Amino acid sequence: MSRAGETAGFTLVELLVVLLVIALALGAAIPFLARGPDGQRLDAVAAELVGALRKVRADAIRSNGEALFIVAPEARTWRAGETAELENFPANVVVRAVGARSEMPTEHLIGIRFFADGTSTGGGITLEEGDAPGVRVAVDWLTGRVQIER
């Protein structure tokens, strides 16, 4: 119920707050939308790798042992654990990987080993496609933390 002489509506402050929220949401979404289809595909592949690496780390902690993530950049494949299925990278994605020399059974395979305390041998996998900026999935050797770096 409004008093006499007042009209229903929004104040200038309320409208400014709504506009500010919309501007912040657009500001956060634009970088992701601007990456294009190549960038979005790289983001999806990187997110899948992060999930797989974190699972291997969790397996090592849960089993109170060691677990190994293997990537073969030239063959364009990876395996999350020694008994897991072999996975393929998408056709147009260029893969580069770095790992500890002790985890390179051959010059074509690179391993990242996780230990029972959550630490790892460390390493990283870089993904590139087309004109999109590359994405790197990094594994910290001291903490075993897995993260995406752009």
Contact between 131 and 149 (Cβ < 8 Å) = no
Please give the model's pTM, rounded to 2 decimal places. 0.75
Of 71 and 37, more confident: 71
Query: pLDDT tier at 37 (50, 70, 90 boundaries)?
Result: low
Query: pLDDT tier at 32 (50, 70, 90 boundaries)?
Result: low
* Residue 90: C-alpha distances to residues 11, 85, 138 (Å): 52, 16, 19
Number of H helices, E strands in the chain: 2, 8
Mean pLDDT value of segment 46-51: 97
Contact between 111 and 68 (Cβ < 8 Å) = yes
Mean pLDDT value of segment 84-106: 93
Neighbour count for residue 41 (Cβ, 10 Å): 19
Structure-token pair, residue 96: 């580069």
